Amino acid sequence: MRFLPILLGFGALAAARCGTGRASEEQRSYHKYLHEKEAREAHQPATRDVFDVEIDTYIHIVNGNSTTNHTQIPQRINKQMAVLNEKYEPTGFSFKLIDVSYTNNASWLNMQDGSDQELDMKRSLRRGDFKSANIYFVDLEEDLLGVATFPTNKGPNKFKLDGIMCSLATLPGGQKPYDLGITAVHEVGHWLNLLHTFQPPDDAAEDDLTAGCRGHGDFVIDTPAEGTSAEGCPRFRDTCTGRNETLNTHSINGPDPIHNFMDYTDDRCLTEFTRGQIVRMQNSWELREHYTPGIGGRRASPQSGWGH
């Protein structure tokens, strides 16, 4: 889902937080399967002595200007890795920087999600296997801050297109209010199979301000339903009230999760994952762990019949 750029004050970055779209039927089916399984088995997050996954991480710095000064980039990359490891520490996931590539290519400016341009870049730069996180810091279209693939994505180029794209300006030390490295945290959440907290039903209109109050939302019970994405850093927000809230059996009642990493508020406002989200990421890791390359890939898992 795309959102119009946010108008910000002088010196701030005007941008749309995330270009990762609505869940596909395949994604919804898998999330529904896990939602029911986790509720039935009363799952709790596994502690690090049980679930400890180190993710090989490849950073790709891409721009179209051969005169760009990269002097500060290594330090900012190290800060970005520190942010990822700090924010994901409670989840059992950690990130190990394996390599950094630097590429100047004018044809990869104004990168468009889902384009031949994206496929060309990722085909050239992607490293590792399906468990490896490839994070491309690029100049994205329409002032977009980031976009990522889900492990449930399908298609003949599933493996090649897998990864996370973030605007270079979102590296720590970039432009406020997206200067703390949280865009990568948000997009890695998608890569680990989390949906937006305000996920609307498939038939929702773009201008429906209570769309996220209906349906399954993000399929995680302990993230309160949220009508639309939140912006800025509000002190309080509650978009699902009255019958919209009491009739929704898929989420706990409560104010909007404006501090959740999978919402759209400013970097300084995003501080947490819920226990349910941590369980979901841990349970979804099998999608990457058991992936077999091929036409669209397949899941080498006994649970391959989920949702049926």
Residue 187 among the catalytic residues: yes
Instruction: State the chain's maximal CA–CA distance in angstroms.
Output: 57
- Residues 6 or more apart whose Cβ sits within 8 Å of residue 307: 29, 30, 32, 33
Q: Residue 186 and residue 189: Cα distance in Å, rounded?
A: 5
List 187, 226, 272, 286, catalytic entry:
187
Tell me, rounded to whole angstroms, the distance of Cα 181 from its chain centroid.
13
The answer to whether 182 touches 261, Cβ cutoff 8 Å, is: yes
The answer to whether the Cα torsion of 222, 176, 145, 173 is positive or negative is negative
Q: Which two tokens stand for residue 207?
A: 């201008």
Three-class DSSP category at 194? coil
Q: Residue 264 and residue 262: Cα distance in Å, rounded?
A: 7
* Sheet with 93-104, edge to edge strand ranges: 93-104, 53-63, 133-138, 164-167, 146-148
Q: Which residues share a beta bridge with 127?
A: none
Q: Which of 170, 231, 237, 205 is nearest to 5 (CA)?
A: 231
Q: Residue 297 and residue 209: Cα distance in Å, rounded?
A: 37
**Which segments of the chain does DSSP mark as H helices, in order?**
25-41, 73-88, 116-125, 158-161, 182-191, 243-246, 275-284, 286-289
Task: Tell me the chain's radius of gyration from C-alpha atoms.
Answer: 19
Q: Could you list the active site residues? A: 187
